[in-house]
Structure 1
Amino acid sequence: MQQKLFIGPKIRRLREERGWKLEPCAQRLGLSTSYLSQIEANQRPVTARVLIAMMKVFDVDAASLDADDEQRLMADLREASADPLDEGPHPSLAELKQVATLAPNFARHYLNLHRAHRRIDERLKTTEEAISLDETVAASALLPYEEVRDYFHYRNNYVDSLDVAAEALAARCGLGPDAPVEQALEAYLRDTQGVAIRRVSGGDLMRRYDPASRTLTLNTVQPAETRAFQTACQIVAADLGGLIEKELAEAGLRSASAAEICRISLTNYAAGALLLPYETFRAAAADLRHDLDQLALRFQTSFEQVCHRLSTLQRPGARGVPFYFVRVDMAGNITKRHSATRFQFARFGGTCPLWNIHEAFGHDGRTLVQVAEMPDGARYLCLARSVLKRSGAYDQPDRRYALGLGCEIQYADALVYSQGVDLAGPAARIGVSCRICERDDCTQRAFPPVDRGFSVPRFERSIVPFSLTPPES
């Protein structure tokens, strides 16, 4: 069933930015004034015909009129308002939806305040620990990373200027299906930037650039695809550095730490776009039905690099399948997360134990396939695989992660992994995290959601030792 598109606040903002009154704007769109007024008040959805008219009249692309922002805001607001640090009454889902759709700027301001609240709380806790342990520890290291993740999250994990520039740069580097990638990148560095490659073996170094000697040091312990990525990072830092700084200046990040992290993230983004040029990669993904191993072989990249790149194919007018991508360590920490779908990740606390990404750690190198359903009824084809990153030394531990990649079920036929899977059959009933999950009958629930009451019976015991009270309307 096609989801109805309610984008009233966006239409009103576009109209007001141009200084248009309601009646002249309605005439330009070929609508009655009352109809446009109802659309702006979110009382009526936008039809396909009206959407096309709005794109022409306001001179914007479809991405600018996407409703995904409201869905993301809705999920973020629900988790923030259910924070256990807030002891007041929690707003209902209906109230949160109104805020996300009718007052998106207020919603983002609230989320900024919530982040600041969390930052202060983390600093207080860290200070107390430092005093009790007589140690100096870093305060609130996670929050700048969360700010950068939000930056990419609300851009649909796509940065058009960098993506287009990196695609052109790939052609100048001579990258192609038959070209050895690492050698082509090294030749470009040598011939256009005068940079020499030096190789070392051992330790945890991945890349070091010495501007005085114009030498890039790489570690032979790392696999070829990792060395190629680090070389690509050096190339884009030099050739696309101005664009990276422009995007960074426009990001409006609130701290110097977040800006430093975002600079690295934008450089990594551009490096991925260089190794996997947009149109070439999108066409290959469709041709190979998103076979991750085949794509990695064709482009001489890693399984993880392919997964990450698939989650960025959101160019207006040439979008790929919208994917989420996540990387989790063995402790359950989410170290990477991107979503071009409605799929949401928990900001605080653990993820759902029924999600197949946790099972992947017990199946080395095997791609697990799961049909999963979120509490809102959205169904996903979820892929998960564990990857091992060697340390290169006996006395140093290897790093092990689980990678998750998935799309909504209506796109599943475009994936080779849907073969033999009953997409309409029973699905794993997963959630974001126990603390905000709406399900009443999950036997894997670790604790009650923070926005629901519960009771603990004295003379009865079930697998879950409490029952939830009905949600507020």
Structure 2
Amino acid sequence: MLSKNKHKLCKSIYKKPQETCNTMRAPIGLRIRNYRKIKGLSQASLAKSISISPSYLNLIEANKRDVGGKLLHLLAQELDVNLHDLTGESETRLINELREAFADPLLAAQNLSHEDAHLMVAQLPRMARALHTCYRGYLDASASASALANRLNADPLFSQLLHQMLSQITAIRSTAEILRDVPDMEQDLRTNFDNSVFEQSRSLTDVAHSLIAQFDKEVKQHHSSSPLREVNDLIIGENNYFPRLESAAAKLRMEYGLKTPPTEDRLQQLLSDLQQNTDMKDPVAPFQNEHPGQGDMPENSYDKQNELPPAQATRRFQLTRKIVALKCGTILREMTNDPRLTSTEAKEIAIRALNSYCAGAILFPYHEFLKDSQRSMYDVDFLAQLYGGSFEQIAHRLVTLRAPDAHGIPFGFLRTDPSGFLTKQFPLPGLLMPNAGHACPLWVIYRSAQSPNQVMRQIVSFTDGSRYLFIAKTSIKRVETFNNTSVFSTVMLACNLMQADQTTYANSLRLDRPEYDTPVGPACNLCVRQQCAHRNTPTAATQLN
């Protein structure tokens, strides 16, 4: 019922009447033609190398046929082009990053527009990437400077350390003046003064070390944007699909006969056996330095804290992560030896992310999970029941179904904490998501927090005419007790409305009626809807004016 008139739906996805299905496909067809000509290939020779007819390739280049999956992967290989460059996903992400930079007060006075970002990426791509790199460096430097300034101005510990240093410097100076002004001092008294200077100097050194340590700690805590972005670049650069981890997960399942879903007792027994195995060498420690809610919980910590144990899905996932740490430590370390990860902190974050990816691949085997996802029309709650996972775990796995020869619907992923602050994201090409802070207050991810444990859906329209289906659910990660409040987390999936009718969440929605959509933006500081009643922050340009 939802796809009786696909062409009508396609035209309704973009409000402008001149934007048809062909114009939505145009960039890929033009890129294929341009790269083919750069390689000096004829249509006939390229078509033969990928086992299609020249006439079909001509239709693709003329934007009259969609191309994706294995065929697109073969085209990228034959043209010797990165898949993201061919599809334009890397360009789209760079444009979105530049739009966010242009909205910063630092650049807002230049009145740079969305069109300027497009033009710069298209005509001066190296310059665009250089500007983006400089802007990231500026953000990191600003965060460090702000952290240090805040510490100096407001932190009582810094004030106390500085007063201690001043007091000890004053005492040393007074003692030194006495020693200078009284040359005929008795030797015993002079020795006492000398010892006093020595002790006060040593104490001053200790205070100075403490002060420096506080500076280093603060810089490290606030220098998180760069490592996190480096890890995001790694994941996005691989399209959130890691064949090596998928193969490792499949091999581990086969080696130990793990069923779907593996029981908690079986996982606990396997972990115990691996920990007792003397042949296990050089495992990684993916849980080191993790804060609560980031992944693993220390064993029996809930007993000490008078808390209830975590949910079964969480326990199973934690056990699987520990198994991956023991069995796949070498693979994880080799994969983080990547030039995109330039710091130790970025490598540690990447190891944890890749460890969780592999754990998800073990609990939710790729091809079986993809088949069940398609059969259930991507019903997240159904899949959670079928595989014994949580809503967030299933949503994470759906985003990784990106194998070139067997892929699911492309989903974007977003997670917020109870304050609405973005804690995790995986972008969807074409959908502008803020990198940090808060998203548009009209997004269903914020309304979902008012109704925990209920799936909420929403069709949204952006100012460029693009339309998306948003699906959100707020889940309780820790049950409330008398001494501890509940811990909530909200997860949202997003897909282009062109694929919405393949999901169960499109049932009864008016996909062909854009006038019923919720008009939204990416975030208030990036949104051009000046008259929006829900705006809580003016645009950067408005603030500057």
Q: Given the two structures, how large is their TM-score scaled by the length of structure 2?
A: 0.70
What is the rounded CA distance, in whole Å, between the counterparts of 1:77 and 1:208 in structure 2? 38
Following the alignment from structure 1 to structure 2, what is the Cα–Cα distance between the partners of residues 7 and 229? 39
Matches within 5 A, 1:77-116: 77-86=98-107, 88-116=109-137
Compared CA separation, residues 9 and 349, structure 1 to 2 (3 A): farther
1:95 and 1:26, CA in 2 relative to 1: closer, same or farther beyond 3 A?
farther
Q: Give the secondary structure class of the aligned counterpart of 1:435.
A: helix
Shift of 1:120: 0.8
Q: 1:100 Cα deviation (Å)?
A: 2.3
Alignment of 1:282-301 (within 5 A): 282-301=370-389
Whichever residue aligns with residue 138 of structure 1, its letter is: E
For 2:475, the equivalent position in structure 1 comes to 387
On the 8 A contact 1:156/1:340 being kept in 2, the answer is no
Task: Give deviations 1:432-459, integer Å, cap 9, x for gaps.
Answer: 011111324422222332246898xxxx
SS in structure 1 at match of 2:25: coil
Cα distance between partner residues in 1 of 2:488 and 2:512: 33
2:536 to 432, 446, 452: 446
Write the letter of the residue equivalent to 1:351: A
Tell me the residue number matched to 2:5: none
- Structure 1 CA distance for aligned equivalents of residues 30 and 142 of structure 2: 33
CA distance in 2, matches of 1:9, 1:241: 43
- Separation in structure 1 between the aligned mates of residue 38 and residue 88 of structure 2, nearest angstrom: 24
Cα deviation per residue 1:141-171 (whole Å; 9 max; x = unaligned)? Answer: 4312233223323332222322232233233
What is the total number of aligned residue pairs between the two structures? 426
Distance 1:407 1:390 in 2: 29
- Contact kept? 2:412, 2:426, Cα under 8 Å: yes
Identity across matched positions, percent: 28
Deviates more, 1:252-261 or 1:150-159: 150-159
2:78 corresponds to which residue? Answer: 57
1:448–1:454 Cα contact (<8 Å) kept: no
Letter in 2 for 1:380: Y
Greater mean alpha carbon deviation, residues 168-177 or residues 119-128: 168-177
Other structure's SS at 1:85 match: helix
Q: Quote the Cα distance in structure 1 between the aligned partners of 2:149 and 2:401.
A: 44
Q: Which residue of structure 1 aligns with residue 425 of structure 2?
A: 337
What letter matches 1:124 in structure 2? Answer: A
Q: Separation in 2 of the partners of 1:217 and 1:14?
A: 58
Matched, 1:317 2:405: yes
Name which structure has the greater RCO, CA cutoff 8 Å, separation 6+.
2
Q: Find the structure with the greater CA-based Rg.
A: 2
SS in 2 for 1:86: helix
- 2:150 corresponding residue in structure 1: 129
> Could you tell me how far apart the structure 2 residues matched to 1:74 and 1:167 are?
37
Say if 2:90 is the partner of 1:69.
Answer: yes
Richer in helix (by share): 2
User: How far, CA to CA, are the matches of 2:262 and 2:451 in structure 1?
Assistant: 31
Aligned counterpart, 1:182: 264
Deviations 1:67-98 (A, max 9, x none): 22211111111101221233641433233113
Say if 1:349 and 1:433, in contact at 8 Å, map to a contact too. Answer: no
Q: 3-state SS of the aligned residue for 2:386? A: helix
Name stretches of at least 5 consecutive residues in structure 1 with no aligned partner.
Answer: 32-43, 197-202, 210-215, 456-473
Aligned equivalents of 1:410 and 1:363: distance in 2?
A: 28
Structure-1-length-normalised TM-score: 0.79
CA contact (8 A) 1:61 1:316 kept: no
CA distance in 2, matches of 1:454, 1:208: 45
Corresponding residue SS for 2:377: coil
Change (3 A) 1:330 1:190: closer
User: Does the Cα contact within 8 Å between 2:468 and 2:497 map onto a contact in 1?
Assistant: yes
Task: Look up the SS of the partner of 1:337 in the other structure.
Answer: strand
Distance 1:101 1:275, change over 3 A: farther
Partner of 2:357: 269
Which whole-Å deviations, capped at 9, do the CAs of 1:246-286 have from their partners, x for residues lacking one? Answer: 22112522322222111111111111121111111111111
Q: Deviation per CA, 1:371-407, whole angstroms, max 9, x where unpaired? A: 1112222211111111112167532332112111121
Asked if structure 2 preserves the Cα contact closer than 8 Å seen for 1:6 and 1:45, the reply is no
The separation in 1 between residues aligned to 2:415 and 2:480, in whole angstroms, is 22
Distance of 1:343 and 1:28 partners within structure 2: 36
